[in-house]
Structure 1
Amino acid sequence: MPPKLDVIPALRVHQAKIWAALALLLILYLPTTGWPALSGLNPAQVKTVLILLLAAVLWVSEWLPLFLVSFIILALELLWLTPAVAELGHTVSDALFFAPFFSNIILLFLGGFVLSSIMQKAGLDARFAHWILRVTQGEPATTLAGIMAACAFLSMWMSNTATTAMMLTMVLPLANRLRADTPFRVGLILSIPLACNLGGIGTPIGTPPNAIAMSYLATKGIQVSFLEWMILTLPFLLLALTLLWFALLKVYPPGTDKLAVWQVEAEPLKARQWISVGIFVITVLGWLIGGQFGLKTGTVALFPIIAAFWLGILDQGDFRALPWDVLFMVAGGIALGVAIDITDLGTVIVGWLPSSGSFQMLVGILVLVTALLGTVMSNTATAGLLIPLVVSLSLPTNQLLVLILAITLNCSTAMILPVSTPPNAIAFGSGVIRVGDMARMGTLMVVLGVVTAFTIGPLYWFLIIN
C-alpha cells in the first residue's frame, strides 16, 4: 500500500535534517584528517573555511531553515573556532561574534520592518496601489507602468513578498476581466514579482543583501548614508524598470484590450492613519538627512519602533509577527565575515581570486557567480556568502565599493526561476504564468544586471564616489 500523501513531505523533512546532520559531522571530522596540512592554512583558517562551506551547503540545499544556519554559524564560531584562534596567541572576545546579531544594520532593518507593518496595518499600501490604478484609467500600457511603479516604490520600503501578495490580490481581478487568450494577461501578472524584486535595489532597507553590503562596508571604514545609497542605485532601478516595461509590452502585447478599473471611493484618512503617515515621513527624512546631524541609520530606526508601539499603532502580536528569521539570517552572514576577518583568511582569498589582474575581470567573474548563485538560492544567502569574501580583498576603497555594489545589484536581478525569490514563487502560484514566462523575463533581468554591473555601473559609481 503506497504511503499517504501527507506522510511524504514529513519524510522529506526528516531526510533533509539527516543530510544536514551528516554535513555538520563531516565538517567537524575533517580537521582530524591530513587535509588541513595539505591546504597550507593554519587551524583557525581551516575551521573558518569549513564553516563557510557548511553555510553554503545548508543555504543552497535548504535542508534546514535559513535562519537556523545563522545560529549554527554562531555556535561553531564560539565553541569550535574561538579555541583555535586562541591557540595562535590571539585574544578573541565572544562579543565579536555576538555583535552582528544586534548591530546598527540589524536595527536599521528592524525599523524598516516596523515601517512595513505600519503601512500594512493602516492600509496605506493598499490606498497607494488603488490610487495608481485609478490614475491610469485602464489604458493597458499606462496601467502596466503604474502597477510596476507601485510595486517598486512599495518594495523600497516594505517586504517585497508582502507587496507581491497584496498587488496580486488587487490585480488578479483586473487580469481575469481580460480575454483568457490575451498575452497581456500574463504580462500584467508577471510584472508584479519582477518589479517587486527590482524595487529592493533602491533603498538600504529594500532587501537584506543591501544591509549585508552596508554592514561590511562599514567594517572597512566605508560609510554609505541612506541618501548616498539611493543616489548610487536609483538610476539602475529606473533603467531596469523601463526596460522591463518595454519588454513586457513587446512580448505580451495588449492589442485592443482595455482594463476595466473599478472606482473605489476613498474615505478620509483617520487619526491612526495620519499618525502612521507622520511616523513614516519623519523616519524617512531622518534616514535621508540624519547623517548630517551625526545620527546613524540604526539610531533613526529606533523612532518608528518606539513611536509605533508607544502610540498603539502596532501591538505585541505585530511585534511577534515581524520577520525575525530574515534579521537572523542577515546577522549570520555578517558573523561569517567576522570569522574571515579575525583569522586573516582574507589574505589567502586574495591569492584565490584574480585581484592582481584586471579589475574589470574581477567584476565580471563575481557578478556572473552572483547571478548563478542567486538563481538557485536565496539572494540573502548569496550576499552572505560572497560579500564577506570580497571585503577581504586588498583593493582601494573606491574599487571595493564598486565591487560590493555590483554584487548587491546582481543579487536583486537574479530572478529566473519560481524558486529564485519569494515574489516569484507567490506569482507562480497564481496559475496565470508558466515557468517559461518567468525564465524569459527573468533572464533578461539577469543579463541586464550583469551587463550593467560590468559596463556603465562602474563608470557611474566611480564618477559619484570621486
Structure 2
Amino acid sequence: MRHYFRYIFPIVIPLIVLFMPLSVFPFDGMTIVQQRVAAIFLFAALSWVLEPIPIYATSVAIICFELLLISDKSLVWFTGQQGEAWYGTVMSHTEIMATFANPIIMLFLGGFFLAIAATKYRLDINLARVLLKPFGEQPKYMILGLMLITAMFSMFMSNTATTAMMLSILAPVMALLKPGDPSRTAFALCIPLAANIGGIGTPIGTPPNAIALKYLQGSSNISFGEWMAFGVPFVVILMAFAWLFIIVLFPAKQKSISLDIKGQFLKTPQAFVVYITFITTIVLWLMGGAHGMNSYTVAMIPVTVFLMTGIINKEDLKQISWDVLWLVSGGIALGLALDKSGLAALLVYSIPFGNFSPYVVLVGAALLSLLMANFMSNTATANLLMPIMAALGASMSSLEGMGGQTTLILLVTFAASLGMALPISTPPNALAHATGHIQTSQMAKVGIFIGLLGIALSFVLVAILHIVKH
C-alpha cells in the first residue's frame, strides 16, 4: 500500500486544496489565484520528493498547470471574475512560457556547449590531469581537491558556470570508477555542494549577497573585506563538514584512482578555437560586470562560436540534457507564480515575528529562508525576504543586543544560499543531478543536513562578528 502513496498523494492533496473554500485557509485576504498556486506548489513539492513521475516531467506539468489555471489564457471554466479583488491577479501566458528561455536557461546552454566541446577535444581530460594531480590518487582527497577548486571559482564567478565547467573535468574521473561504487555519488555531489557554499564567501559570489548589501548601509555597513573576513572562514568550515559527511555517507570502494592520462593537449586549429573560447568565457565570467556583460550574455559566446565553426554539429546537439533545461524552467515558473500571485508574501507576512523573542525570530527567519530557497530561486527568496527583514530588524529593539538588523539580514542571506536539498533548488544541483549519479533522496539528505549545519555555523560566526565590531 505504501508504494501507491507516492502516486496518490501528489494528486489527491493538491486537488483537496484546489477545491477547498477560501474560508478554510488561515490567511486573511487569500485569493482564488493564490489558492491555485498553493495547489500547484503542493503538487510540485510532493512530486519532486516522491518521484511518481520523472522530475523533469513534474516541471513541465507545473508550467502547463499554470497556463491552464492562473494565466490570462486559462481554461474558460477557471477564468472566474478576473480583476475582482477576491479572485486575484492572473499571470501573462507569455511570461509563463518565457521560463523555457529564461536567461538562466541560456547560462545552462553555454555550460553544456563548453562541456561538449571540452570532451570532444580532450580538454576535460587534460584539465583533470593538471588540476587534480596535487591531490594524489585517493578518492577522498580527489573529492576534496574538486571541492576546493570549485569553491574558489564560485567566490568570483557564476555558481552555475563553475559547476558546468567542473563537471566537464569530472567526466574522466567517473570513467575510472566502477558502476556500483558509492563514491560516484560523492564525486557528483561534491561539485554542486562546493559551488553553493563557495558563493557565500564574497559579496559578489551569489546574488543574495549583493541583495543583502543594499540593506546593509549606514551603521550596518559591511565592506568587501569584512564580508570575506567571516564569509571565507564560514565557507572553509562548512566545506570541511560537507566533505567529511559525503565521504562517510558514500565511501569509496576503490582505494585509488590512477589518472594515468597519456598524450598532450591537441594542437589542431579547431582545438585552439576550443581552448581560446573556453579561456575567454571563463575570464569574462570571472570579471563579473566589469566589461558590461552579465554571465548570461557571456554564456552565448561559446554557443555561437562552436556552432559557427562547426566544432559542435547537429549530432552533438543531441547530447544536450534537455531534461535539465525543462527541470530548471519548471522551478523558475513555480518561483514566478509564488511571487507574482502574492502567495509567498502572504505566507511571510502572516507570521507574527514581532510577537516572538529575538532568538525565535532569528532562528525562524533563517529556517523560513532555507525552506523557501529549496523551492524558489535563492535570488527570489532574498528579494522577497530582505525588505521584510530589514524593516523587522530596524523595528525590534530586542534585537539590538544581538547585532540588530545586520545579524538578521546576514542570517537570512546565508540561509538563502544554503537552500540546496532538491535538484530544482539551485542550478548547480540540477546540473549535477543530470549526470545520473545522484538520486533526489540522496541530494535531499545531504542538502538538509548541510543547510541546517550551515545555519548553526552562521549564528556562531555572526555572533563573533558582532563582538569584534563592538
What TM-score, normalized by structure 1, do the two folds share?
0.65
Matching residue of 1:455: 460
1:407 matches 2:416: yes
- CA contact under 8 A between 1:202 and 1:237: conserved in structure 2? yes
1:243–1:383 Cα change, 3 Å: same
2:264 alignment partner AA? E
Kindly report which structure 2 residues correspond to 1:24-423, keeping only aligned pairs within 5 A, or say none: 25-30=15-20, 35=24, 41-82=30-71, 83=79, 86-88=82-84, 92-132=91-131, 134-136=133-135, 144-150=140-146, 153=149, 156-158=162-164, 166-170=172-176, 192-201=187-196, 214=207, 236-243=234-241, 261=258, 263-271=260-268, 272-353=270-351, 355-356=353-354, 357=356, 361=360, 364-365=363-364, 382-384=374-376, 391-393=383-385, 394-396=388-390, 403-411=412-420, 422=433
- CA contact under 8 A between 1:20 and 1:64: conserved in structure 2? no
- CA contact under 8 A between 1:59 and 1:381: conserved in structure 2? no
CA–CA distance in structure 1, aligned partners of residues 293 and 338 of structure 2: 29
CA–CA distance in structure 2, aligned partners of residues 346 and 137 of structure 1: 48
Kindly report which structure 2 residues correspond to 1:10-21, keeping only aligned pairs within 5 A, or say none: 20-21=10-11
CA–CA distance in structure 2, aligned partners of residues 351 and 386 of structure 1: 19
Equivalent residues, number? 401
CA–CA distance in structure 2, aligned partners of residues 103 and 51 of structure 1: 20
Give the C-alpha shift of residue 386 in structure 1: 8.4
Q: Give CA-to-partner distance per residue, 1:182-226, whole Å, 9 cap, x none.
A: xxx98x77853453342332677xxxxx99x849988x999xxxx
SS at match of 1:292: coil
Matching residue of 2:398: none
- CA contact under 8 A between 2:56 and 2:326: conserved in structure 1? yes
Deviates further, 99-108 or 258-267: 258-267
Give the C-alpha shift of residue 50 in structure 1: 1.9
- CA contact under 8 A between 1:104 and 1:298: conserved in structure 2? yes
Deviates further, 353-362 or 402-411: 353-362
Q: Give CA-to-partner distance per residue, 1:232-265, whole Å, 9 cap, x none.
A: 97665544444556789999999xx995847443
Percentage of pairs with the same residue = 22
1:313 alignment partner AA? I
Q: For structure 2, list consecutive stretches of 5 or more residues without a partner in the other structure.
A: 72-78, 151-159, 216-223, 392-405, 424-428
CA–CA distance in structure 2, aligned partners of residues 203 and 313 of structure 1: 32
1:411–1:355 Cα change, 3 Å: farther
1:57–1:390 Cα change, 3 Å: farther
SS at match of 1:395: helix
Give the C-alpha shift of residue 306 in structure 1: 0.7
Give the C-alpha shift of residue 303 in structure 1: 0.6
CA–CA distance in structure 2, aligned partners of residues 452 and 109 of structure 1: 31
The alignment's C-alpha RMSD in Å is 5.2
